[in-house]
Amino acid sequence: MDHCTLCPRRCGALRTAEEGHGFCRLPETMRIARIAPHLWEEPPVSGQRGTGAVFFSGCTLRCAYCQNAEISHRNAGRPFTPAALADALRRLVDMGMQSISFITATPYTEQVLETLALYRPPLPLVWNTSGYETVETLRRLEGVVDVYLPDLKHYTPRIAQLCAGAADYFPVASAAIREMVRQTGAPRYDEDGVMTRGTLIRHLILPGATGDAIALLDWVAETFGREIPVSLMQQYVPCNHVDIPGLDRRITPREYRRVRAHMEALGLPGFLQGPTSATVDFVPVFNQPESFPGEG
């Protein structure tokens, strides 16, 4: 692929089958670090039996504190053809999953579309993303993706620049989320409470950044009213040897209470994720034989 501009970095970089020369350093061939049932997403995504999660290698945002840095920063994973991924999706369906989640798949948009042309799972298809997406790439997913699961991470350019070298994060992600909501409309659910269509916005509260969290919740309420659910997460753990001043601790109960109270005052629907998941024990195993259960 010449001149890749799939994500907002718009590197214009050459990506060959084996090598990538852009910010993400990803080749054109899909690389995947884990394909397995996953039970720890929000209930409308995981259901009772789990979402079939495909963790793609690499990330176009690469937050300094990422708990999955092994794949997002260091691109751990193995190559997959569209035919091999289609076979893996069939296995996930046979395992009784209630949705399929593609996690940070944007650099492989082309190959994902090829895969789905070979086999379209009869389940809601979830696009799990950092929120750092271009509207142009999202338009290619219209009618393909059923559920968008974007993060909405930073409001102020200073924090976005410090954490991810992406001062433009908020204008880019807010435009992307507007496009996601335009495509999917208000959430719809099946009889088990699994989202079959819609957008669910996630926000991870960062230590010392409750002002950012509140500004983002205000933006959601002003833009979408009470139509779009928000998952408010308090399980930040300093990972990846993060050396940004202030990000070397968990959030305090007081910080969490402040943001939660604001979300409740706005009347936003959604989910409040507890501190029980504030541990790196929740990080899945990547790029090992057990990361690909069911393979022959």
CB of residue 83 to ligand SF4, shortest distance in Å:
23
Does residue number 29 form part of the binding site for ligand SF4 (CB under 6 A)?
no
Residues in region 254-293 near ligand SF4 by CB under 6 A? none
What is the layout of strands, in order, in the sheet containing 270-273? 201-204, 230-233, 270-273
181: which residues sit within 8 A by CB, 6+ positions away?
Answer: 148, 199, 224, 228
**Residues 113-142, mask of contacts with ligand SF4 (x by CB under 6 A):** ------------------------------
Among 17, 19, 26, 149, binds ligand SF4 (CB under 6 A): 26
Residue 195 DSSP code:
E
Give the count of residues interacting with ligand SF4 (CB under 6 A): 16
Does residue number 107 form part of the binding site for ligand SF4 (CB under 6 A)?
yes
* H/E run at residue 90: helix 82-94
Query: What secondary structure does DSSP assign to 123-136, as a single string?
Result: S-EEEEE-S---HH
CB of residue 66 to ligand SF4, shortest distance in Å:
15
Looking at the Cβ atoms of 26 and 97, the one nearer to ligand SF4 is 26
Measured at the CA of 295, the angle between CA 293 and CA 296, to 5 degrees, comes to 140
CB of residue 26 to ligand SF4, shortest distance in Å:
6
Question: Stretches 22-30, 79-87, 141-149, 223-231: which one binds ligand SF4 (CB under 6 A)?
Answer: 22-30
CB of residue 280 to ligand SF4, shortest distance in Å:
26
Looking at the Cβ atoms of 19 and 295, the one nearer to ligand SF4 is 19
CB of residue 62 to ligand SF4, shortest distance in Å:
9
Question: Given the structure tokens 């208000």, which residue do they identify?
Answer: 186
Does residue number 23 form part of the binding site for ligand SF4 (CB under 6 A)?
yes
CB of residue 112 to ligand SF4, shortest distance in Å:
13
| CB-count burial class (<10 Å; 0-12, 13-18, 19+) for 207 | middle
**Residues 1-20, mask of contacts with ligand SF4 (x by CB under 6 A):** ---xxxx-xxx-x-x----x
Looking at the Cβ atoms of 15 and 38, the one nearer to ligand SF4 is 15
* H/E run at residue 93: helix 82-94
* Contact present, 60 and 88 (Cβ < 8 Å): no
Beta-strand pair 201-204/230-233: parallel
> Which of 153, 194, 230, 192 minimizes the C-alpha distance to 52?
194
Question: Given the structure tokens 């997002």, which residue do they identify?
Answer: 72
Q: Minimal CB distance to ligand SF4: which residue?
A: 22
Q: What is the 3-state secondary structure (H, E, C) of 160-186?
A: HHHHHCCCCHHHHHHHHHHHHHHHHCC
Among 51, 57, 60, 101, binds ligand SF4 (CB under 6 A): 60
Token digits for 54? 């495909």
Looking at the Cβ atoms of 12 and 293, the one nearer to ligand SF4 is 12
Residues that bind ligand SF4 (CB under 6 A): 4-7, 9-11, 13, 15, 20, 22-24, 26, 60, 107
